[in-house]
Structure 1
Amino acid sequence: MKRNFKRLFEMRSSHKIKILSMALICALAVSVGALPTAQAATRYVDAGITGGDGSSWGSAYETIQEAIDATTPGDDIWVRAGTYSLTNQINVDVAVNIYGGFNGTEINKEE
């Protein structure tokens, strides 16, 4: 009788461990899914501005290539309307979205 009781107790403990393990796995899966995702950055380009860091129209990059070189996948590049002289071809080596024709005051693409 003692053996049967001990075996029953062990089965229940292993069952508890399985349930606890499953709960832990579910909690980890939910917490990983709740991690914030990186938001795409917007880089600005204006041929009339020199020395900018591309973070706004007032400190825009002077060339499209500078903006491309600073991007990460999924970023947007907004190019102010104007004439951009090229000394070399533009090399795009990352998946970016390039929009042009802005007047340099927009805060939304749709403007």
Structure 2
Amino acid sequence: MTQLVYHPAFDAYHAFLRSVRILLACPDGLDPMALRILDFFLLFPERIESARLTPALRSLVKRTPLNRDFPMTRSQPAGLSLHEWRKLRRQRARRSSRKD
């Protein structure tokens, strides 16, 4: 059966370009499993919020400074911290679930 719908997850060229983009951002290199995980989150950024980290990784993330030039941070409204933005999103999600 032929595939009628395009999705970047099934495109080998798109996968190659995503991998190159990740490897260029990490000059020290990555192990293959880390590359696959980062590729998944680059392909499906909406899944980042549902990811669970170990306590050791969670403390590492909290100590790592936020890169303000990273494109994903531009989606939050100006003047709000990341914590305030997430709180606002949760409140909006609760309101919309109550309406249903």
TM-score by length of 1: 0.22
Larger radius of gyration: 1
More helix by share: 2
TM-score by length of 2: 0.23
More strand by share: 1
